[in-house]
Each structure stands twice: as C-alpha cells, then as structure tokens.
Amino acid sequence: MNFITSLLANLNYGTIFFLMLLESTVVPVPSEFVVTPAAYHAAGGNLDVFLVILFATIGADFGASINYLVAYYVGRPVIYRFANSKWGKLCLLNQEKVEKSERYFDDHGVVATLTGRLIPGIRHLISIPAGLAKMNYWKFLLYTTVGAAAWHSILALLGWYLHSVVPEEQLNDKITEYAEYIKIGILAIMILAIGYFIVRSLLKKSRKK
C-alpha cells in the first residue's frame, strides 16, 4: 500500500494509467482519489484534463480486460477460491462481492458492463461475470470504455470545480464529501431509468391486449 500511496502522491499520465488498471482488477485503488486530484492539477495547468480522462479510461480497459480474460478461461470455482483466499481478502474481496456483481450482470444483461462501471462496489468486479458468461469481448470492451469514460469524466469535472473552491490541503476531504453525493445521484438516476423502462414495457404490453 505504501507503493500505491507513493503513486498517488506523484500523479502523471503513466501513474494514472497504472492506478486505474489496478482499480479495474481487484486491487483496492479508489478512482476518486486518482482522477479527481489529477483533474484538480490539470485545472492548475500541470496536466491536460482530456489526457487525464483518456489515460484513466485506457487503464480501466486494460484492468477490466485482465479480469474478463481470467474469468473467461479459469471459470467460477477458481474465481471463488481466490476471492475467499488470504490474497483475496487483502484485496478487500470475498465470494459475496463476486456473487453480487454476477447478480447485477444477470439482472441487467450485457449492458451491465456499461452501467456497472458507475456503481460503487460493482464497478471493478463487473468484468468478472462478463468473462464467466463469455460475453463477446469487443462488445464488452466497447461498453467498458463508455462506462469508464463517463465515470472518469464525472470525477474530472469534480476535480476541475474543486480547484476553484478549495486549497489542495483540503482536497481529499472534499473529494470524500462530494463522492458520496455523486454516488447517491448516480443511483437515483439509475433507479429512475429502470423505473422508466419498466413503465414503458408495461404500457406496451397493455396496448397489445
């Protein structure tokens, strides 16, 4: 963890890519504390915010692809065994979390690889059920890219905004505060979207009767 802390203290395009690669596998690296500070520094002229989003998204694609390929080729028993192992616990992983991501994938189909990138606790694991289900890789990669880019853009906007309102020594506290609002907002939007599609489906069925 000291290694990751060192990388977080020295953000550049290479470390952003690497940390987001880790975050999209099973290593507990919170993207809020990578992309948001990077965008904060971009607002100060030290980085380019579009390149921050680009390298973060490419890193997420690489990390998610690792999860996908491992799940695709080794299967559920090995994934569960790792999740319940000492190494899995060091990564804050367990079988229940993997099963939760599988249920989300089963409930929402292949589009879950897009929407799942926006949901805390699901984001870094959603590529595992995609691999277990042997989803088409290029479709998986497309949805992962769109979802990751959307999430990173939200975090980058937050970092850019915070640059104008808080000094750097208060940045992490503000990220923690605003990240909770963002999570609640995203969940609310998704609930509304699901409700909309359910109502639309019911209306279509009623018209056919």
Quote the CA–CA distance of 2 and 93 in Å, as a whole number. 20
Residue 209 is predicted with a pLDDT of 59
| pLDDT reported for residue 114 | 74
- Give phi and psi for 114, each to the nearest 5: -90, -55
pLDDT at 194: 64
Q: Which of 27, 89, 145, 146 is nearest to 19 (CA)?
A: 27
- The answer for residues whose C-beta is within 8 angstroms of residue 162's C-beta and 6 or more apart is 36, 40, 171, 174, 175, 178
Q: For tokens 């750097």, what's the residue?
A: 168
**Residue recorded with tokens 């948001």:** 36
Composition of the chain by helix, strand, coil, percent to 5: 80, 0, 20
Confidence at residue 53, expressed as pLDDT on a 0 to 100 scale: 95
Query: Is-contact 31 155, C-beta < 8 A?
Result: yes
pLDDT of 152:
92
Query: Which pLDDT belongs to residue 3?
Result: 66
Run means of pLDDT, 10 residues per run, the chain, 209 residues: 70 92 84 91 91 95 92 84 77 76 74 74 80 88 90 90 88 83 71 68 68
The pLDDT of residue 196 is 63
**pTM for the full predicted model:** 0.80
